[in-house]
Structure 1
């Protein structure tokens, strides 16, 4: 690649980065300004206060909302990783027509809008008495992301993990479950990171299902709690910005810790697979 092309690509990458950083910059400056400070959103205040953060935490009951979101996100992620990886293993290793058809079906399911199942799903949840429970939120998210999880895991296993490792373990007398949990699963870190980031970010930010199935204030997630909080504080953007900033921190930390595995997992599991 020529020097000119490298410079152009560098400039494009720089402007794209700046374009994405600007909203976060404005969010931070706004969250640090007290009500009545009409200075430009582009300038940092000449004082330091965390008043907006403490007020937003108490007013929006963010502690309870954070706990609900953590329980739902972590619970769904554990089930996705455990059952998704186990289901993907035989699909990746046994290239039968049925298994190929199942993978095609999973791809087809991924393009179906989740809201199409909202009415019958809501009716079923009400009939079995699981409305306003974290359990139904966990199961809904597991069902929504299981096809994508299996698709990524199966592609990664098929394209990255050599069969010779499993054959050697089988010769040594290892069972199928032993081969999976002792040999295969420890090698799934990159795609597991990809699944965690994709699923957790969407589950953490889920609003469309949470607003219907988690109507009680005791089980409100962050998105639902933020919705009512924003409506009540439209004239106090500092509080809204502080609450939004606190809500984004967990997923930002998750991505920073797992980013080195994220690209490897997607490229191996989705592109090669």
Structure 2
């Protein structure tokens, strides 16, 4: 009899524990849903505003799907030069991302494989560089670019953005490479490969998850970069997305619908990129944290 009572009590405790865990899971899901809705509020406001005519200053939060003002989007393209700015941003983002991935992986490989005192000092210096804001060196940087002719040029802003994004890239690649067994390097060198061959043919193909993370973080940062680009790209034909949308919005402050339409058009490519690479982004963020 006592045994059956103990079993019933254990079953009751198990059921209560399951209910508690279920309630905890629902609470977590509810918090995540609320957080996602808060993050989507600016996009929803932009959609609502982009569908209104220029003389509508109401604060309604319901888009006019039955009477969408497509002229807002056409004006943003023709008058705002959004496509030209997107082309400039695409060129800068593409070359910057490729350079950051290649240089970051190449620099992180020896730092991860050789734990010497000098390499540890270099790693500490890279972490310190991540703490320095880019705008803190704007005056000497701008003066230097003026002297070498890098202002209002693709290569000038690409070099600057590559240098500002390299520390985080090296940090992520270094953490990931440390989780790769050194026996892979040793096996390649036993077969007669040198360090360069081992890196490019054995290690680099294994860096796909963290590379996706670096690609997303770098491309999003460069695509939305405003502070440095607004100083280095003053020519309207060379402006990237953020400075161009800001100047166009300030010139059309009385027509919020056109500004909202321009912002939506410019945000669309980077959102699509993230949707395609989000799985690799999550894998790369947690890679190297646990061996």
Class of the TM-score when normalised by the shorter of the 2 chains: over 0.9
1:31 and 2:50 matched? yes
Q: Distance in 2 between matches of 1:138 and 1:38?
A: 40
Indicate the SS of the match to 2:227: coil
Q: Which position in structure 2 is the counterpart of 1:257?
A: 276
Pairs within 5 Å for 1:67-216: 67-159=87-179, 161-216=180-235
Shift of 1:144: 0.3
The change in CA–CA distance for 1:61 and 1:168 in structure 2 (over 3 A counts) is same
Shift of 1:39: 5.4
Shift of 1:49: 4.3
TM-score, normalisation: structure 2: 0.89
* Uncovered stretches (5+) of structure 2, i.e. residues with no partner: 1-19
Q: Distance in 1 between matches of 2:57 and 2:143?
A: 48
Q: Distance in 2 between matches of 1:43 and 1:224?
A: 29
Q: Which position in structure 2 is the counterpart of 1:228?
A: 247
Q: Distance in 2 between matches of 1:185 and 1:49?
A: 49
Pairs within 5 Å for 1:60-71: 60-71=80-91
The change in CA–CA distance for 1:10 and 1:215 in structure 2 (over 3 A counts) is same
Q: Is the 8 A contact 2:50 2:69 kept in 1?
A: no
Q: Which position in structure 2 is the counterpart of 1:50?
A: 70
Q: Distance in 1 between matches of 2:140 and 2:218?
A: 23
Q: Distance in 1 between matches of 2:122 and 2:271?
A: 34
Shift of 1:183: 1.0
Give a deviation string over 1:87-134, Cα, whole Å, max 9, x none: 111111111111111111100110111111111111111111221111
Shift of 1:67: 1.0
* Uncovered stretches (5+) of structure 1, i.e. residues with no partner: none
Q: Which is higher, the Rg of structure 1 or of structure 2? A: 2
Q: Is the 8 A contact 2:252 2:259 kept in 1?
A: yes
Q: Is the 8 A contact 1:26 1:41 kept in 2?
A: no
Which is further off, 228-237 or 164-173?
164-173
State how many pairs are aligned: 271
Pairs within 5 Å for 1:235-246: 235-246=254-265
Shift of 1:47: 2.1
Task: Compute the RMSD of aligned alpha carbons.
Answer: 1.5
TM-score, normalisation: structure 1: 0.95
